[in-house]
Structure formats: C-alpha cells, structure tokens
Structure 1
C-alpha cells in the first residue's frame, strides 16, 4: 500500500522541511495530522529533528554491527568447522563436493522463492554462454575452495588464516592485469608490507608445514584469478548475473564437474573403502557423517549470503574493514580454542601484514572518493542500464530522503 505524499505546508511550519530531516515513519505520521494538531514552533521542531536524527544514526550503527556479527558467525564458523571435520574425516575434496551440491540446492530454492515473490523469471543462461563465460570462473573457484579445504589436513588455522590473507596481493595483481584497478606507487608499499608480514609470520614457526603452506599459497593465487573473474562476470550486464544468488546457482554445477576428476584421482578408492560412508556398519554413524557434511554446506551458503547482505546494506568498504578484524578474531580464537602456538615474531608479522591490508583498504577508499561507486551503471546490449544491487547503498539513502521507501524491505530479493 503506497503511503500518501506529504503536502508542502501545514500552518506556519512547512512539511517539506520536516521531510528532509525525518525518516519515512515520522513522515507517515505527519501526513495523518491535521493543521490544528501539528502546532510546532521552530525551536521544538529543531530539537525533535536532532533527537530523531540521533536515533536514526544509532539504529544504523546497531544494524551495521548486527550484520557484521552475522557475517562473522558464518565466516569464522566455517573455518573452524573445516579444521574440526578434517581431524576425523580425511576427505576434503569429497566434503567440498557435498558443499557445492548443497549450495546449488539452496540457491535453486532461493531463486524459486524470489521468482514467486517478485513474479519475474530469473535469468537462465544458454549452454553456449554458460560454457564460454562461466566456466573459467567456476574452475578457478573450485580449485581455490578445494585446495583451501585440502590444506586443513596439514596446517593450523593460524597459518591458514595468515597465508590466505595474502590473496589480496593476487587479487590486486590480476585486477591490474584486467585493468579493474588503476596503478599507483603506494601499491609497492602494500605488497612489501604483506609479503614481509607473511615472511615474519612463518619464520621459525614451530607448526609450519611446507606442503600445506604451498597449498594455501596456491589457493590464494588462484583466488586472485577467481575473484577478478567473478567481478568481471557479475559486471557483464548482458549476462544478468548481478545477483549473487544467480551467480552461485550457475557456478556450482561447473565447479562440481571441475573438482570431481581431482576427487576421483586422490580420494576415490580410499573413500570407497572407508568406514565413514560406504563401508559403514551401522546407520547412526552414517547419519552423523551426512549431518556434519550438510551443516558445512549450510555454513558455506550462509557465508555467501551474509557477505551479500552486509555489502548491500552497508558498503564494500565495510566488508573489507570487517574482514581485517575477522582475521584478528580468528587468530585469537585459534590460539585459545585450538592451542595454536605463535611467537612474538609471528604476532609482529601478522601486525605488519594487517597494516598492509589496511593501507590497501584505505587507498581504495581515498581514490574512490568523489567517484560514484555506490551505484554502478552497467551498459546492456539494448541500451538500457542495469544496477549492480550489491552497491546500491549510497544512492538508496538519498532516495529515502526524497521519496517513500516502500520497496526497501524487498530490495534484498530484487
């Protein structure tokens, strides 16, 4: 039901001035008041505006903190889940395949719900476009996730977290290659800080494992390709994959196909002869294994959705900054819960690496200042523009100030 528009004047106080300062709830109340009921002098109106603006600011801060914590639950949770599961279930590639299957099913259900809610059909790519445009991104994503999960058989959470944080170097490198980033001299400082921090963190580490370290480093390298290709994929307006749910739906089948041969080669025979699944003697252990694997798939889907929710309701800068503190929380929890041992040199290396990542985030915020990146218009073949829903926050706030935001609750599904 559309709310009535606010008239310009009520007595001596203009309603238009109220609209520019109050949220839609107050505007909705004001429109139902008669001129006699709305007797506000200028001083009382100013105080009311100040209090309501402060309350609105507090609500936004609480919402942002809640979204960040929601993201932390899935991001940190899946890291510790993978490490915990690998202690008794030594089939990381099979686990990844199960997760991909669950993510695909949940994405399909979400797409169906979105289609029923909006009444508009979801995008479905042709086979030719699917194999040419989506396949490279799917293969890179499958190898990134597969190698990352595989490494938990060999290394600690601390070493994994630290090594995985270097993915920003490879993302930066491939962003320059694909001309998604503009080069600047400060990038050299960022690279030196992150690389130096990684060296200090792994220097004389008592729990260092070369095989696992190489796996994570290779996963970070492939992750740079993965996220760069994902950005290109989601910004191609003619594909219509701006919504991450649609992207996940199209990526999972090819990811499964790309990872399946590696699984057969490394884990096929051992899994068939394992008592964890196929040679299980009783039903309860089998149900327990299936339940734990399904929980990981739900965590993986929740991680992708929480990232989307955080970016769409705040900004990509908020996600980057919260990611820095997430690394700190992960290492502290790993030392506390998992007993990971870190020396003073390791902690100093971690601090140096975080300073490099923080500098990179700060530089991106500085160079993007003045550029309208909150709403990116993507040209389509028919000449129309498509909005990138992940980056709508800034423009959305201005629309709330000017018009009724009756579709705000449905924005996340559109």
Structure 2
C-alpha cells in the first residue's frame, strides 16, 4: 500500500522506485548491524561464507532479491495494486520450478497439476485486466520469476550453518549490501537521474510529479519510514514462522492477498474487478491452497505432522550447531544428499524419536521438509 501510494502516477508519483528500494536495503543493513551489535549480540554470525560459496550462492541470491524488490516497486508506477498482487500470487509456481531445477523437489504429476492450475489462474487474471500495461506486466512477471529463484537459493543458504546465515538479522546483514548494489546499478542503467534528484532534494522539488510541493526533509522522512517498515515486515515474517508454524504463515499469506486487493480497490479505486479477473484470482488461490495442503499435511503415508515439525524446529534452534552433519552432506558431490541434509535431518529425526518413540523418517519426508522453508516465503 505504501509503495503504491508513493510511486503511482495517480498519487505521489515519486519517479525513483529503484533508488528508493536501494535506500531501504541500506537501512536494512544498518538496522541489522545495530541490532546485532547492541541488542542481540548472541545472534551475530559465527561463520563467514567461503569465496566459492559467496560467488555461487550468496551473490546470486542478493542480486536476485534486489531486482525482485526493485522491479516490483517499479511496476507499481503503471499497474494497479490489485493486478500486481494477482500476478505476484503466482510465485509458488516458480518456486517449484527452481526447486525442480536445483534438485530440492522431485517432479510429480500432482505438483504438475497444481502448477498448471495456478498458471491458468494467472493467465485469466492477465487477460481480464482492463488497464493492461505491457511494460508494467513484464516488470512484475520478471520479479515473480526472480522471487522463485531467490527463495530456492535462500533455502540452500539457510541450510548451511557454515555460511553464517542462521537467523534473519544475520541473513539481512550479508544480503542487504548486495541487494543495494544491484539496485543502484539497475537504477542508473534504468535512467533514474540521481543528479536531478539531488538538486530537487534541496529545493523542495520532490523529483517532479505531485511531490514537487514536498520538502527535502519530508521526502527523506518518507523514505526512512518505508525502510523501517520494510525491515519490521521482514523481521515479523521470520518471527511468525519461528513462533507458530508454516500453516499459520501460509494461511496469513493467502489472507494478505485478499485484503490487499480489497483495500486497494477501496482506497485507490484500483482497477475494475472483472469477472474474468475474479475467476483467475480464485483459481490461483485454489491452486495455492491445494499446494499448501499437499505440502503441509502430505498424504496418508506421511509420518510427520506440521505440529511435530514446528516443535522440532523450535527444539533444534535451542541446540548448538545441530546441523553440522547437514553441512557435511551439503558439501558432498551427491545431489540427493542435499535434499536429505537440508536443515539437519539427523537432528529432526532424533528429536522426533525422542518425543514420540519410533517414527519412520522416509525420503519422502525429507523432500517434504525441505520444501517447507521454500514455500513459506513465496507470498512475500
């Protein structure tokens, strides 16, 4: 809502969405560093990624994340918030596709059907948009693809304690500078004139549009407010997963999509909600709901419930270096070991057996566990 208000040509019309996103990333880095230094020093990273891991895992994730956020914000200049939300709701499709590509998930007919269902819904939404803008659609669709890529890479990053990204503050500390750098390059290449912005900052020009009556100090306050809001939102999402469960987060994500569309139509008179668009959105939500159900509750032969997983994850976070075995497997040459070792499966199995007695931890459960951490971020 804040981004739509700030960037839309019909509202504040601030013509620097990529620059704004860069400022937000710089703020996230500073706030993460402050929290790790003064508030929660126990959460400081204890490891640094190797040069190879940095170049092949951390760097691509940071660039993809920055471009995902920047292109998403840029698209809001020309497309409605409701259309933006609908297209972004298709992110689980690309999360799954990249999971297949990276060997984090095994393709099945069931998952293929779910992907086709969500894609069909997105296509109906696009065809039902009455104020379709091709450039805006390309930006938000590219951002959606990048979202799938970056959350699949993030799953791998979070699985390795040797990378030092074992909590949201540490992850933000490592990724935010890369995100800011990629956004700075994209902003300059994309034609955002920083020189003009600097001049208008001091004269109250507000970078043109309806912001020309806003002073430089007020504009700085708006950007700082957005950066703080983005930081708190990211921390809240991680804490929600940390203290509740994936079920709660998934349900909240679907509810967020519905509320965003409803509020945008009331506040911004944001596009006409046609029958075709409505059918497409419902179809996508049904597909996402089926996917969440399949991944969270699984089939009858699954031996681990979501409540068990939540308890195990909380128990695992209280142990020291409990995923070292997972790190060893992740460093091996066997791609299948990557799936089996994500998030320290030996620790999960041990904790579950200690709580419930004998439990069968199958390869299917390994795959289901690894996909949880990927899917929950797709609604962001």
Name the counterpart of 1:186.
110
For structure 1, which segment, 203-212 or 294-303, has the greater mean C-alpha deviation from structure 2 after superposition? 203-212
Shift of 1:324: 0.8
Match of 2:260 in 1: 330
Could you tell me how far 1:110 is from its partner in structure 2? 1.3
**Match in the other structure for 2:89:** 165
The verdict on how the C-alpha distance between 1:136 and 1:210 changes in structure 2, with shifts beyond 3 A counting, is same
How far apart, in 2, do the equivalents of 1:126 and 1:201 lie? 42
Matches within 5 A, 1:82-231: 82-87=3-8, 88-116=13-41, 118=42, 122-123=45-46, 125=48, 128=51, 129-231=53-155
Query: Do the aligned residues in 2 keep the contact of 1:276 with 1:289 (CA within 8 Å)?
Result: no
- Tell whether the 8 Å contact from 1:190 to 1:356 is kept in structure 2 after alignment: yes
Distance 1:204 1:332 in 2: 17
Q: For each residue in 1:118-144, what CA deviation from the matched residue of structure 2 results, as whole angstroms up to 9, or x when unmatched?
A: 4x7533526725444411110111111
Equivalent residue of 2:323, what SS?
A: strand
Alpha-carbon distance between aligned partners in 2 of 1:351 and 1:209, rounded to the nearest angstrom? 22
Report the equivalent of 1:286.
216
Post-superposition Cα deviations, 1:338-358, rounded to whole Å, max 9, x if no partner, equal: 102211221121111100000
- The aligned residue for residue 378 of structure 2 is none
* Cα-Cα RMSD: 2.9
Offset of 1:378 from its aligned partner? 2.5
Q: Which runs of 5+ in 2 are unaligned?
A: 207-212, 314-321, 330-340, 356-380
Pick one of 294, 297, 303 that aligns with 2:227.
Answer: 297
Asked if 1:370 is matched to 2:294, the reply is no
Contact 2:4 2:81 in 1 (8 A): yes
Give 5+ residue unaligned stretches, structure 1: 1-79, 400-414
- Measured in 1, the distance between the counterparts of 2:153 and 2:343 equals 19
Distance 2:280 2:128 in 1: 12
SS class of match (2:201): coil
- Contact 1:92/1:150 (<8 A) preserved: yes
Structure 1 or 2, whichever has the larger Rg, is 1
TM-score w.r.t. structure 2 length?
A: 0.75
Residues 193 and 356, structure 1, Cα contact 8 Å, conserved in 2:
yes
The 1:189/1:386 distance shift into structure 2, 3 A limit, reads: closer
1:382 CA displacement: 8.1
Equivalent residue for 1:263? Answer: 187
SS in 2 for 1:273: helix
Is the CA contact (8 Å cut-off) linking 1:123 and 1:246 kept in structure 2? no
Distance 1:238 1:365 in 2: 28
Moved over 6 A (4+): 281-284, 385-388
**Structure 2 CA distance for partners of 1:346 and 1:114, relative to 1, 3 Å:** same
**Distance (Å, rounded) in 1 between the aligned partners of 2:328 and 2:280:** 51
In structure 1, the partner of 2:289 is: 358
Report if aligned partners of 1:272, 1:278 keep a CA contact under 8 Å in 2.
no
Is this contact kept in 2: 1:168–1:224, CA < 8 A? yes
Alignment check: 8 A CA contact 2:125 2:278 kept = yes
Distance in 2 (alpha carbons) for counterparts of 1:317 and 1:191:
20
Q: CA deviation at 1:101?
A: 0.7
Cα deviation for residue 362 of structure 1 reads 0.5
Please give the TM-score of this superposition, normalised by the length of structure 1: 0.69
More deviation, 121-130/239-248: 121-130
Distance across 2 between alignment mates of 1:123 and 1:114:
17
How far residue 203 of structure 1 moved from its aligned partner, in angstroms, is 2.0
Matched, 1:347 2:278: yes
- Shift of the alpha carbon at 1:196? 1.4
Distance between the aligned counterparts of 1:350 and 1:94, measured in 2? 31
Mapped to 2, the partners of 1:122 and 1:173 lie a distance apart of 31
Displacement after TM superposition at 1:276 (Å): 4.1
